[in-house]
Amino acid sequence: MQLTDLEKAMLDGVNGRAKAAAMDLLVRYGEAVGAERLVETNNVAGAFNASTPSVRHIVDKGFDAVYSELNLDSDEIVEIPHMAVDTWQLITGIDNDNWKIQGVDESLITMQRESEAYLGERSINMCATCTPYQVGNVPVKGEHCAWMESSAVIYCNSVLGARTNVEGKESTGAAGLTGRIPYWGYHLPENRFGTHQIELDFPVHDMMDWGILGYFIGEMVEENRPVINNVLHHPNMIKLKHFGAAAASSGGVEMFHIPGITAEANSLAEAFGPNKPVEVFRFGQRERLETYQKLQSATDRKVDFIMLGCPHNSIEQVALIAELLRGKTIHHDTELWVHTPRAIKQVAERNGYLKTIEQAGAVVMSDTCPAISRRLPKGVRVIATDSAKQAHYLPAIANVQGWFGSVTDCVEAAITGSWQGGMS
């Protein structure tokens, strides 16, 4: 791989052992994927926090040891300096306030807080969400990034037109210290054109249908790049984040185009560039119904747990939930957790939404989600969620039955303790 003089100097240890270990990792990674060079990045979003019992034995050796082993894949413990470029912590394992409700051991939340203090001193921004673009990290079109988290990556590539592959803990750890990432995959313009065409025969409009459409498309195109044509109702950020998260779950999609809406597709021709569609799929009433049914893994209508906020909720979504819950009470056998970034939770508190939701008996969580933390309320058998991604993962992760539906259906289930959702 071709390195600049500065990169060679970092690799040779001129800028310290941590940057040398980081550069060594990036060169190994770049060579493994056939990258010819590195590219500069000033936008890194990864997972650095120590918040799980499995890392406790490393924490005993200090947080430099955690970073060295988990974020640099280094056998040697190196002293970690300030990040070289803007670096963000994505979602983490524990809600710093609601850890008791999550069933987290006190020693573990202490470890997470100490870890955050260590990372904060090294200028890693603790946004602690899978939606950094909702709380201030909004890369511009063409910007090279190094992001983890599939739902964030697909949003970054498609809606914003910035450029990232799905990175890992190690590569983001190395990118934060060097400001470099291998130049391959979605960093290359020629790898960003559409491959498959999706013709909408059904006028997809509400959030639930955008989730269903994403899930359908992921299954159809797998890891390719769909171009969605004939979109009659202009989607907003909320619908596109749900759509992308679903497509990335059922199929591993990292980029899509919607002509006239997403960043790199003013037209169908621009979306495909030099490519011809490999295949054309149609999405109509039948595909919509079949996909909705696939997302239902439950048969028991008695619901124990409702999860809202995957990807993390926007302030508009929190406001809607508060409105649906106003003056109501959650069923005594049911728990409702609403997930949103901590920065948005503060706005929700100022607006009174938080109070309304809590008065109904629900919990507003930040920093984490059940799929990442692997923590649900004790004894849960049946869940309901408005997220196709969560409906895909939670039954497998937590061995539960799952209902998928609209936010209104989910809130209704939380109030009655029973699933009555459906599709019109």
Q: Least distance to ligand F3S from the beta carbon of 179, Å?
A: 26
**How far is it, in rounded angstroms, from Cα 342 to Cα 300?**
34
Looking at the Cβ atoms of 178 and 387, the one nearer to ligand F3S is 387
What's the rounded Cα separation, in Å, for the pair 353 and 411? 15
Q: Is the separation of the CB atoms in 389 and 310 below 8 Å?
A: yes
For ligand F3S, the binding residues (CB under 6 A) are: 91, 130, 151, 245, 310-312, 339, 369, 371-372, 389-390
C-beta closer to ligand F3S: residue 10 or 376: 376
In the block, which residue shows the tokens 């970690």? 80
Least distance CB 47 / ligand F3S (angstroms) = 10
Question: Shortest gap between Cβ of 149 and ligand F3S (angstroms)?
Answer: 6
| DSSP string covering 203-249 | ---SHHHHHHHHHHHHHHHTTS-EEEE---S---HHHHHHHHHHHHH
Smallest distance, ligand F3S to C-beta of residue 370, A: 8
Residue type, 287: E
Minimum gap (Å) between residue 316 Cβ and ligand F3S: 17
Q: Which is nearer to ligand F3S, 245 or 306 (CB)?
A: 245
Beta-strand relationship, 226-229 and 196-200: parallel
Nearest Cα residue to 403 out of 133, 197, 19, 390: 390
Closer to ligand F3S by Cβ: residue 257 or 339:
339
Q: Which is nearer to ligand F3S, 192 or 389 (CB)?
A: 389
CB of 121 to ligand F3S, least distance (A): 25
Which of 189, 188, 247, 256 has the alpha carbon at shortest distance from 214? 247
Q: Closer to ligand F3S by CB, 68 or 158: give it.
A: 158
Give the residue with the Cβ less far from ligand F3S, 130 or 415.
130
Minimum distance from residue 340 beta carbon to ligand F3S (Å): 10
CB 180 → ligand F3S: shortest distance, Å?
26
State how far the Cα of 64 lies from the Cα of 79, in Å rounded to an integer. 6
Query: Which CB sits closer to ligand F3S, 193 or 393?
Result: 393
Residues 250-281: b if buried by 16+ CB within 10 A, e if exposed: bbebbbbbbbeebbbbeebeebbeeeebeeeb
Write the burial class of residue 234 (CB in 10 Å: 0-12 exposed, 13-18 middle, 19+ buried): exposed
Q: Pick between residue 163 and residue 312 the one whose CB is nearest to ligand F3S.
A: 312
Strands 146-147 and 363-365: unpaired
Of residues 314 and 390, the one with the C-beta less far from ligand F3S = 390
Which of residues 130 and 240 has its CB atom nearest to ligand F3S in the complex? Answer: 130
Distance (Å) of CA 415 to CA 106, 264, 395: 31, 43, 22
Q: Is the dihedral angle over the CA atoms 139, 142, 143, 147 positive or is it negative?
A: positive
Closest residue by Cα to residue 362 from 324, 392, 390: 324
Angle in degrees, CA 366, 239, 201, rounded to 5: 155
Q: Count CB-CB contacts under 10 A for residue 144.
A: 20
Q: 228 near 255, Cβ under 8 Å?
A: no
Six-digit token pair at 403? Answer: 């209902």
